Amino acid sequence: MIEKNFSIPGKAGQLAIRTKAPDGAAKGTVVLVQGANISGQLGYDLQVPGHADYSFMDALVARGYATLTFSIRGYYLSTLEGHPHDVQTEQAIEDLDTVLSWLEEQGVMRPHLLGWSWGGRITGRFVEANPHRIDRLVLLDPALGGGQKIAFTERDDYWQNSYDYFYNRLEPEFTHEDVRISVATQASEKELNAPNGIRVENEKGSIPVDPSRITRPTLLIYGHAAGAQNYMQGAAPRGEFIEMIDNHDKALVIVEGGGDYAHIQNPRTKVFGIVADYLGWGG
C-alpha cells in the first residue's frame, strides 16, 4: 500500500489531503468526504490499537481501489482564511471541487464519490450540478438537509470535539469499547476545534439535496439506528428519496447493528463490502 499526506492550495487556505492506493494498478479511485465534526483522515482512516480493520480507506485499497480523503477548510490540518461560521456547505463544495480539479490534473477523471453525514449533503449537491465529473455516488448515513431547523444558541466559533462527547456519542451497544476510547482520544487531542458553520447553516435552514437532479448511479446506505438526530432528518424519507433519483442504477441498504457511525462500529466490514460491491457494479 502507498500512503501520501500533503496539502494543496484551496480557495480559503491549504487543504490537507491523504491518499492510499494499491502498490499496482487500481481499478478506480474513491474520494471520501467528511462529516461535520471530524476530518476525513480520522473518519475514514481510523486506526485503533490492537485492531486492524477499522480503516475504510484500507478496506477499499484491499479491494483494489485507490482512495483519497481530505479536510475541509478549518478542519484538522487544513487552514482557514475567514470566519469559522462561514464554513458551510457551499464552501465545502468549493473545497471538493478543488480536490477533484487537482485529481483531474493528475489524470484521474470521474472518480467515485462517497459522502458521510454532512458529507452526504456536500456530495449530493455537488453531483446535482456536476454529474459528468464523477462515476458512482455513495451516500453513507447522509444528513441530506432541508429538514428541521436546529437552534444554535451558543454562537461559539468552534465546536469542541471533547473526549466525553465522542465517547458518549458512539453507542456502546454498537461500538467496541476500544473504539469509543480511541476515537474520543484522537478527536480531542488532534481535532478538538471544528468550525461551527454547519450549525449556523442548520439554524437558518439548509438547502436540501434534490434527488431528482441526481443522475449518477447512487447507493444510499444507513446503519439501522441512524436518523434519530435532528440534523439527520432530511426533506424526504429515505424510500422516497431513492425513488426520485433520476437513474435506474440505485440501491437503498439498511445495515443492522449500527447508527450514524456504522462504518466504524460493529457492522463496519459489512458496510465496507456493500460499498465496494456497489462500486464494482459499474464494471
CATH hierarchy code of domain 2-280: 3.40.50.1820
CA atoms within 13 A on the CB side of 101: 11
For the chain (283 residues), the mean pLDDT of every run of 10, in chain order, is 97 97 95 97 97 97 98 98 97 98 97 97 98 98 88 93 97 97 98 97 94 97 79 72 96 94 97 97 74
The model's pTM: 0.96
Q: Considering only the C-alpha atoms of the chain, give the largest distance between any 2 of them, rounded to a whole number of Å.
A: 51
For the CA atoms of 104, 105, 107, 109, what is the dihedral angle to 10 degrees?
10
160-218 pLDDT, tens digit each = 999 999 999 999 999 999 999 999 999 999 999 999 999 999 999 999 999 999 999 99
Q: Are the C-beta atoms of 27 and 66 separated by less than 8 Å?
A: no
pLDDT of residue 134: 98
Residue from 63, 127, 66, 68 nearest 93 by CA: 127
Q: Are the C-beta atoms of 154 and 132 separated by less than 8 Å?
A: no
Question: Distances in Å between the alpha carbon of 207 and those of 57, 88, 224, 234?
Answer: 29, 11, 25, 10
Place of cell 432528518: 233
CA atoms within 13 A on the CB side of 165: 13
Strand 66-70 vs strand 13-21: parallel, antiparallel, or unpaired? antiparallel
Give the end-to-end CA distance of the chain in Å, rounded to a whole number.
23
Residue from 200, 193, 198 nearest 79 by CA: 193
